[in-house]
Structure 1
Amino acid sequence: MNHPVVSRQQWLAERTKLMAREKELTRLSDQIARERRALPWVRLDKTYSFDTPAGRRTLGELFDGRHQLLVQHFMLAPGWEQGCKSCSYMADHTDATLVHLAQRGVAFVAVSRAPLAEIERFRQRMGWTFPWVSSHGTDFNTDFHVSFTADELASGKADYNFGGTPPGGEMPGVSAFWKDDSGAIFHTYSTYGRGVEVMMHTYRLLDLTPKGRDEDGLSFTMEWVRHHDRYESPAPAAKPANAGAC
């Protein structure tokens, strides 16, 4: 990489200048989080139920005794051989977070439209343990704007990401819900498109590195992503400048 090289003193001056911008971003992020929590809620009048390894369960039962629930809308439609690569990249970060989410009263579940047997087959291949249920045969995916019929796509009536046009019939998202002491359930928030990067911790680490995400020139940004058992091999280590010298 051809990059400016300066003295430590010059680097500290530039780094300090950037830190001021980073603090602005942090404060803005905190403010947006407060505004997100202040959004009005929508009470769910429809009862949703899902196929789970423990049998049929309602949305309320997926809270697992907690007040808060996060749902990953995972792209795995009926008949697909495997789940979406990008959704799988999201899910690779999930298992280790569950114990920490639970400490803050938050349950987590992934929801896909594929039948449970197809979900379980793919889950076993990937080695995940987080709760993952099937919305097959229900309106859950369509009501939360992550699954679309061919007619909706053809007519331009499909609404993804609050007014956007989905490129396909299955799309990713993350939704949040609250259940009060009476058992009433409220939809509090959903995010789609690049908003789902909230689950992609690897991206945040890549953003710290000299090459960043290194996605310029790809046909689409996540073209490089594979299911974690489908990478050919780790990228080769850089060869030392004096490699081969005696």
Structure 2
Amino acid sequence: MTTVAFIHSLPRWHHHRSHLSSRRKSNKHTARENLICFSAAAAATDVNSPSSSLEAKALKADLLSVVAGLDRGIFASDDDVEAADLASKRLEDAGDKIDLPRDLDKLQGKWRLVYSSAFASGNLGGSRPGPRAARFPLTLGPVYQRIDVLSREFDNIVEFRAPTPWPLPPLETRATLAHTFELPGGASVKIIFDKTSIKGLGVLSELPPLDLPRLPDFLRSSSSGLFTVSYLDDDFRITRGDRGELRVFVKL
């Protein structure tokens, strides 16, 4: 999905193998969050709607179980990537045909990324050539998309943490990649980059936000793009990007 799919081009961050054990602990926490987030959303869905059928619920739970423990794909092996793709296709095949002028309201809201095949590619460009993730020294935090269908705004929000010497606290920032979006037709979404805003968190929270009219070099390859919404209901979304990326989101 790359309608400005920065999120569709986020990397694989598992080059620090010496920290694998501690990272896996956080992965389990992330997986639990994913399952809790889905369960709450599914419980709020109208049981009489097609999107809340028992089949769809079972397929969504199956997909989440496949990606659980992969930390959004960061630790995904080739077999994991294939399993996630197959589980996604089963859910896509069970869903209704998507027409975004008709189904546009379902995109509204804040969505959290629970899986991206781009993380397993090892670079920021997904299946296209891009800067290697291993060259980027930050730890990836939560990744969100915030979509406003009325104003046609599409923001990719990513939190980062930079390590510091003990006993200093880590430096945390939130990057918001602001886009507008267009609907070329069918289930496609085109995103157009506007600007990047950087806001400090934690010990940096008192600093004013910084707006960058030009995307940083390491993110520039993912500034704008086109993706297809391949599954969509009130709480769950699957997208496939123009770089071959699969991404799975749950609504907050």
TM-score (norm 2): 0.29
Instruction: Select the structure of larger CA radius of gyration.
Output: 1
Q: Which has the higher contact order (CA 8 A, sep 6+)?
A: 2
TM-score (norm 1): 0.29
Greater share of strand residues, 1 or 2?
A: 2
